[in-house]
Amino acid sequence: SENKLWGGRFTGATDPLMDLYNASLPYDKIMYDADLTGTKVYTAGLQKLGLLTQEELTAIHEGLEVIRKEWQEGKFVEKPGDEDIHTANERRLGEIIGKGIAGKVHTGRSRNDQVATDMRIFVRETLLDLSNKLQQFILAIVNRAESEIDVLMPGYTHLQRAQPIRWAHWLSSYGTYFTEDYKRLQEIIARVNQSPLGSGALAGHPYGIDREFLAQGLGFQGVIGNSLTAVSDRDFVVETLFWSTLFMNHISRFAEDLIIYSTAEFGFIKLADAYSTGSSLMPQKKNPDSLELLRGKSGRVFGSLSGFLMSIKSIPSTYNKDMQEDKEPLFDAMTTVEHSILIATGVISTLSINKEKMEQALTMDMLATDLADYLVRKGVPFRETHHISGECVRVAEEQNLSGIDKLTLDQFKQIDARFGDDVVDVFDFEVSVERRDAIGGTAKSAVYKQLESLKKVVS
C-alpha cells in the first residue's frame, strides 16, 4: 500500500479485485482537464495564503501543463495505484517536479471537494456544448418550417385523423418542446456552476482559503454555502439526468411521429439514405434505424436517472463512496444526448417530404368541426351544431358518399333548415387552417409568430 495516497495507516494489501472494484480512473479520466485546472487555481489560493512560495507555484503550474499535454496526446502512462484521476495526476506531478513540492498541493483539500469541483466544471462545459448543439437543432427545425410553411397535413389525436394543420405547425410543436428544454438547460447550468472548492473533506478549510477567489478562477458563479453540502450534493447530477431524460422523452415522440410518417401507408416523409439502413435479407427494405435508436435510447437515459437516484437514496451525510457511482450514468447520458441531438439534426435537415401524400391524406370528415362552426357563426349554440354536424357525417356515410361535402343542399337543409348555399365554402382545408389564427394556432400568421419566438429564445 506504499503506492497509495492514503497508505499511511494501512499494513495489509488490498484484494486485487477490490482495487479494480474501487477504481474510477477508467471512466473519470475524461475529467483530466477540469482536474488539472482545479489544482492550478487551488494552488494559487494556497500561494496567496503563504502556504506555497511563488517558485513552488510556478513549478507546480508548469508540471500541471506537462501532464495536460500528456493526456491530450494520449501519452499519460497509468500506473498501479492510480485509483482515480485525482490520484493519477498528483502521482504524476510528483514524478515531474518532485514529491517535495507536489506533496503540498493537497494541503487543506480533499478528494471530496476536488471531485465535486471537477464534476461541476466538466458538467458545466458539457452542458454548454449541448446547449449550442440544441440551438442548431432548433434552428434546423425552424428553417424547415419556414421553407415548407404552405404544406398541409392531417393533425392527429389518438393517431386518428382529427383536423388539418400545417406541417410547419407540427415542426413548430417540437420546436416548442425543444426550446423549453433549452431554457430549462440554462437554469440547470446556473445551478451546476457553483463552487464546492475549499470545503476540505467535509468540515471546511483550516487555513482560511479565499473560496470566492477559487470560484472566480474556475469560472463559477458563486460558492456553495455549506461545506458538508458542498462535498455531498449531487443534485446537479440528478438534474442533468432528469433534463436528459425529459429531452430524450421529447426526442422519442418526435422520432415516433416520423417513423409513422415514413411508412408506406403514410408516405409523408422519406429519410435520407444517410440516416437509414437496409435489411440483410429483404433487398427492398429501407429502415428508419436512426429514428428507432432515438426512440430506444430514451429508455437508456431514463435508466441512468432512476439507477443513480437509487444509488444515492438514504446515504448518510457528506461523502460516501456510493457517490462515485454518479459518473458512469452521467457520462453515458450526456454522450447519448449529444449524439442524439446531432442525429436528430441530421435527420430533420435531410429528410424529404411528400406534399401530395400529406395533402391527399386530408379527408372531408376532418372538416366536421368547421361545419359545426359554420352554424355557430349563424347563431346556433355549439352543442347543438356539434350534433347537427355529426348527423351530416352519419347521413353521408349511410348514403355511401365519399365525404360530407358531397351532401346536396337539400340534404343539408333536411338535416337543419339553417344551412344555406354558402355551406360549400366550409369544405376547403386551407380556409379551415387559416381560421385558426389565434396565438399558437395553425394559420400561417400564427405559425410564423411561433417560429419567430423560437428563434428569439435561442438567439
- Applying the rule CB under 6 A, the residues between 20 and 39 that interact with ligand ARG are 24, 28
Q: How many residues does the chain have?
A: 459
Question: For residue 379, is it left (φ>0), alpha (ψ between -120 and 50) or beta?
Answer: left
Of the pair 203, 272, the CB lying nearest ligand ARG is at 203
- Minimum distance from CB of 30 to ligand ARG (Å)? 12
- Rounded (5°) CA angle 141-459-136: 35
State phi, psi for 416 to the nearest 5 degrees: -155, 125
Question: Whose Cβ is closer to ligand ARG: residue 92's or residue 111's?
Answer: 111
- Give one DSSP letter per residue of 235-274, joined into a string: HHHHHHHHHHHHHHHHHHHHHHHHHHHHSTTT--EE--GG
Residue 237 interacts with ligand ARG (CB under 6 A): yes or no: no
Q: Which DSSP helix (H) or strand (E) runs through 155?
A: strand 152-157
Interaction between residue 232 and ligand ARG (CB under 6 A)? no
Phi, psi at 361, each rounded to 5°: -75, -10
Chain residues 195-214 in contact with ligand ARG, contact rule CB under 6 A: none
Q: Please enumerate in sequence order all residues whose Cβ is within 8 A of that of 208, keeping only pairs 6 or more positions apart, or say none.
A: 49
CB 23, min distance to ligand ARG, A:
8
Among 158, 280, 352, 445, the one annotated catalytic: 158
Instruction: Answer yes or no whether residue 227 interacts with ligand ARG by CB under 6 A.
Output: no
Task: CB nearer to ligand ARG: give 174 or 331.
Answer: 331
**With 0-12 CB in 10 A as exposed, 13-18 as middle and 19+ as buried, what is 122?**
buried
Does 120 bind ligand ARG (CB under 6 A)? Our answer is: no
- Residue 111 found at the interface with ligand ARG (CB under 6 A): yes
| Shortest distance (Å) from residue 307 CB to ligand ARG | 16
Q: Which is nearer to ligand ARG, 24 or 47 (CB)?
A: 24
158 in active site: yes
Q: Residues 279, 306, 317, 387: which is the catalytic one?
A: 279
Exactly one of 35, 56, 82, 84 binds ligand ARG (CB under 6 A); which one?
84
State yes or no: is 279 an active-site residue.
yes
- Distance set, CA 14 to CA 1, 19, 81, 251 (Å): 8, 7, 11, 46
Question: Which one of 108-116, 123-131, 190-198, 381-389 is the stretch in contact with ligand ARG (CB under 6 A)?
Answer: 108-116
Query: Per CB under 6 A, which of residues 290..349 are in contact with ligand ARG?
Result: 319, 321, 323-324
The pairing of strands 352-353 and 269-270 is: antiparallel
Nearest residue (CB) to ligand ARG, 35 versus 257? 35
Residues whose CB is less than 8 angstroms from the CB of residue 216 and which lie 6 or more positions away in sequence, other chains included = none
CA distance 173 to 124: 28
Which lies closer to ligand ARG via its Cβ, residue 248 or residue 323?
323
Query: Does the protein bind ligand ARG through residue 117 (CB under 6 A)?
Result: no
Give the binding site for ligand ARG (CB under 6 A). Answer: 24, 28, 84, 111-112, 115, 319, 321, 323-324
Which residues are tagged catalytic? 158, 279
